[in-house]
Amino acid sequence: MPISTRGLLAQWVLVTFNALLSVYSLAMVVAITLRPCSSSSISNDPGAHAATTTCNISQLELFLLGFHLIFAALALTGAAVAYVGHIVLVHLTRGMLFVFAAIYLALAVYELAAVRPVTPMGPLELVVAVLTFAVGVPSGAVYERELRCDRRVIPDAFDSVLPSNPWSGSGLERTIRRSTAAAAVVRPR
């Protein structure tokens, strides 16, 4: 069934937003990796300075590196899921955006409050968190609602995992009955 114009717009926004989040996360991985050594993180070991300058990486930087790598992969997967339009996976993608926006918000607040000197990452992650709450999560909700309205029934692929009544017919018959009942509700006579 063709999806409505509002659903297509929400799908386009969700795909684009997830792809941009993936690019942003990969850019943050590169920025964290290529960050120059600060004077407090340069090794004081004289033997270490003989060949090269070594830097210590903080636990926060390791966490940020892992978080952004994982989020880049999940955001790219979310873009693919939104493009395909599988309703259950779109629901999971929307939940993922909410969780990651909350983590971004917590990281931004921590970086703004505790990390000295203040780096541009704190305000940037605050902007990303606000944009995710303002754009990503609502577009996911609209897209999911449009998918539910356009399909009106659970896809046949879920008949094997749904609890079945031993007195009812096959999964196909249940789907036909549900779609007929949904059509009767939509078009009263």
> What pLDDT is recorded for position 47?
59
Mean pLDDT value across the chain: 74
**pLDDT of 153 higher than 50:** no
Whether residue 23 is predicted with pLDDT greater than 90 in this model: the reply is yes
Task: Look at residue 46 in the predicted model and tell me its pLDDT.
Answer: 60
Please check whether residue 69 is in contact with residue 33, taking contact to mean a CB–CB distance below 8 angstroms. Answer: no
Share above pLDDT 90 across residues of the chain, in percent, rounded to a whole number: 7
The answer to whether residues 137 and 101 touch, using CB atoms and an 8 Å cutoff, is yes
- How far apart are the C-alpha atoms of 159 and 182, rounded to whole Å? 17
**pLDDT score, position 141:** 86
Instruction: Give the integer Cα–Cα distance in Å for 157 and 144.
Output: 18
Question: pLDDT tens, 75-100?
Answer: 898 888 888 887 777 888 888 888 88
Select from 126, 82, 120, 81 the least CA-distant residue to 102: 126
Name 82's Cβ contacts closer than 8 Å, sequence gap at least 6: 11, 14, 15, 18, 90, 93, 140, 143
Q: How confident is the model at residue 152 (pLDDT cuts 50, 70, 90)?
A: very low
Confidence label for 2 from pLDDT (cuts 50, 70 and 90): low
pLDDT level of residue 111 (50, 70, 90 thresholds): confident
Q: Give the per-residue pLDDT at 181.
A: 52
Give the whole-angstrom CA distance, residue 97 versus residue 91. Answer: 10
Predicted confidence at residue 167, as pLDDT, reads: 46
- Residue range 2-29: mean pLDDT, rounded: 87
Q: With beta carbons less than 8 A apart as the criterion, state whether 108 and 123 touch.
A: yes
* Interval 156-176: pLDDT, tens: 555 455 455 444 445 444 445
pLDDT of residue 26: 93
Give 144: exposed, middle or buried? Use CB within 10 Å, 0-12, 13-18, 19+: buried
pLDDT of residue 27: 92
- Whether 90 and 147 have beta carbons less than 8 Å apart is answered as yes
